């Protein structure tokens, strides 16, 4: 169950990359729909309406099959929808598999020299990460998002879970290439990746604490999902009740109506409420 929570960070990404397809599609429809859904405070409307948008993205990809920005938009949406809104395991596996396929195609379109890197053993993977350069930031980020979604939906497959170090290495390479690229999101992911496992099983909680603090510093109260994951993965695992309750209380007291984050913040507040309600039993 702890691993199934790993992709809570995807909440901030739901439809977040749809605007990136604008240069490809040449129309304002995707941008307008994406913005409306990101700013929707009723998650059920998004749950019910997003599948039609997924099919529209599939159609755009058929028209421009080698466009890295369009592929990235499709990958991000399939990944986010598959893990945030789909409760049926088999359906989640299908959607995230499609998202991962789009993410890999985005990498191949953006940086052909790195195409197929995901098939390599870890040490060779590290070497081939050097093929990426600064312009490939979006493709690298999409590879991370779609890979994590796939792993989350295939948590019972040890071969999938064994690729988690690749994800961490990709994020670190992205930071080295472009320290200013989606900084809060990258720090958030690194915080989760370092703390979703207990210290005895390889979690690095000192590193996780640094990443979570940096993510909160950068995002403030814009992206409330960061504090929820900070409480869930770090504070709960180390039984730091005061930190846990303090973070979640801040989430519930914050204004969720932040342009671009309304949907993710609404979901974060719902999770914060559930975590606080279960805190007495947990601690």
Q: Where are the domains of the chain?
A: 1-175, 182-283
Mean of pLDDT values over 21-48: 71
The residue that leads in pLDDT, 18 or 49, is: 49
Tell me what pLDDT residue 31 has.
Answer: 61
CA 211 to chain centre: 15
- With a pLDDT cut of 90, the percent of the chain lying above it is 71
Instruction: Give the integer Cα–Cα distance in Å for 117 and 279.
Output: 42
The residue that leads in pLDDT, 105 or 5, is: 105
Burial 219-258 (b: 16+ CB within 10 A, else e): bebbbbbbbbbbbbbbbbbbeeeebbbebbeebeebebeb
Tell me what pLDDT residue 7 has.
Answer: 52
Q: Which residues contact 22 (CB under 8 A, 6 or more apart)?
A: 28, 30, 31
Q: Do domains 1-175 and 182-283 have the same CATH topology?
A: yes
* Alpha helices (runs of H) in the chain, residue ranges in sequence order: 22-25, 29-38, 43-63, 68-84, 89-110, 122-128, 137-153, 158-161, 164-177, 183-195, 205-219, 225-229, 241-253, 262-277, 279-282
For residue 267, pLDDT over 90 is answered with: yes
Q: Which residues contact 227 (CB under 8 A, 6 or more apart)?
A: 216, 247, 248, 250, 251, 268, 272
Would you say 220 and 243 are in contact if contact means Cβ atoms under 8 Å apart? no
The torsion region of residue 204 among left (phi > 0), alpha (psi -120 to 50) and beta comes to: beta
Mean of per-residue pLDDT scores for the chain: 88
Would you say 34 and 54 are in contact if contact means Cβ atoms under 8 Å apart? no
Tell me what pLDDT residue 117 has.
Answer: 96
* Alpha helices (runs of H) in 154-234, residue ranges in sequence order: 158-161, 164-177, 183-195, 205-219, 225-229
**29: pLDDT confidence band, cut at 50, 70 and 90?**
low
**Lowest-confidence segment of 21-30, 46-55, 65-74 by average pLDDT:** 21-30
pLDDT tens digits, 44-69: 998 998 898 899 889 888 988 998 88
As given in the structure block, the two tokens for residue 209 are 């604490």
Tell me what pLDDT residue 70 has.
Answer: 85
Tell me what pLDDT residue 198 has.
Answer: 84
**93: pLDDT confidence band, cut at 50, 70 and 90?**
very high
Q: Which CATH architecture best describes the domain 1-175?
A: Alpha Horseshoe (1.25)
Q: Return the CATH number of the domain spanning residue range 182-283.
A: 1.25.40.920
Quickly tell me which residue has 């210290």 as its tokens.
199
Tell me what pLDDT residue 211 has.
Answer: 97
Instruction: Give the integer Cα–Cα distance in Å for 181 and 263.
Output: 22
| Sign, Cα dihedral of 195, 197, 199, 204 | negative
Tell me what pLDDT residue 4 has.
Answer: 46
pLDDT tens digits, 171-219: 999 999 999 999 999 999 999 999 988 888 888 999 999 999 999 999 9
- The structure's pTM equals 0.89
- With a pLDDT cut of 70, the percent of the chain lying above it is 88
């Amino acid at each position: 169950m702890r691993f199934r929570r790993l992709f809570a960070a995807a909440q901030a990404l739901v439809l977040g990359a749809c605007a990136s397809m604008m240069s490809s599609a040449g129309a304002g429809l995707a941008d307008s729909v994406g913005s409306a859904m990101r700013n929707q405070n009723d998650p059920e409307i998004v749950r019910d309406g997003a599948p039609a948008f997924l099919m529209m993205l599939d159609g755009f990809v058929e028209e421009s099959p080698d466009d890295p920005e369009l592929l990235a938009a499709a990958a991000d949406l399939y990944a986010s929808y598959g893990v945030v809104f789909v409760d049926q395991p088999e359906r989640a596996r299908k959607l995230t598999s499609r998202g991962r396929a789009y993410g890999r195609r985005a990498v191949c379109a953006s940086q052909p020299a790195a195409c197929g890197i995901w098939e390599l053993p870890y040490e060779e993977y590290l070497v081939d990460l050097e093929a990426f350069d600064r312009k490939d930031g979006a493709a690298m980020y999409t590879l991370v998002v779609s890979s994590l979604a796939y792993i989350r939906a295939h948590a019972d497959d040890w071969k999938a879970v064994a690729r988690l170090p690749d994800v961490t290495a990709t994020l670190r390479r992205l930071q080295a290439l472009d320290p200013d690229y989606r900084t809060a999101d990258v720090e958030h992911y690194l915080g989760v990746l370092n703390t979703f496992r207990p210290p005895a099983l390889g979690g690095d909680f000192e590193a996780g604490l640094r990443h979570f603090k940096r993510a909160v510093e950068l995002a403030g109260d814009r992206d409330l999902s960061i504090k929820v994951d900070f409480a869930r993965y770090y504070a709960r695992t180390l039984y730091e009740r005061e930190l846990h309750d303090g973070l979640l209380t801040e989430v519930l007291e914050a204004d969720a109506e932040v342009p671009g984050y309304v949907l993710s913040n609404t979901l974060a507040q719902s999770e914060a409420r559930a975590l606080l309600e279960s805190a007495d039993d947990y601690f």
